[in-house]
Amino acid sequence: ALTLERNKSHVIAMANATAWHHPIHLHGHSFRVISRNGQPTRNREWQDTVLISPREKVEIAFVADNSGDWMFHCHVLEHQAGGMMAVFRVA
């Protein structure tokens, strides 16, 4: 599992290289989308899911302030079954 240092800020970059939309959900934390396709976002509300469009790149930022093991996955069940699911640890 990927380990994130507790109480530190982290940025995760994601790229959707597919032709499908992916609603990516982060358990245990809220984040802000800070860029889409390399362009800074204007509205940076707190959220726990981001919809990534086909061929889109997204960066999210959050403070890993909730210790434990947390899921990070696509909300489309078929995509999860295909491997779009991971666990990260905050320690």
- Interval 47-53 mean pLDDT: 98
CB contact at 8 A, 85 and 72: yes
pLDDT digits (tens, 9 = 90+) for 27-37: 999 999 999 99
Is 4 in contact with 90 (CB distance < 8 Å)? Answer: yes
Instruction: Judge whether residue 59 has pLDDT over 90.
Output: yes
| Residue 25 exposure: Cα atoms within 13 Å on the Cβ side | 12
- How far lies 71's CA from each of 37, 51, 55, 58, in Å? 24, 17, 23, 18
pTM (two decimals): 0.93
Domain boundaries, the chain: 2-90
52, HSE (Cβ side, Cα atoms, 13 Å): 27
Asked whether the CA dihedral 19, 21, 26, 30 is positive or negative, the reply is positive
Mean pLDDT (the chain, rounded): 97
Q: 2-90 sits in which CATH class? A: mainly beta
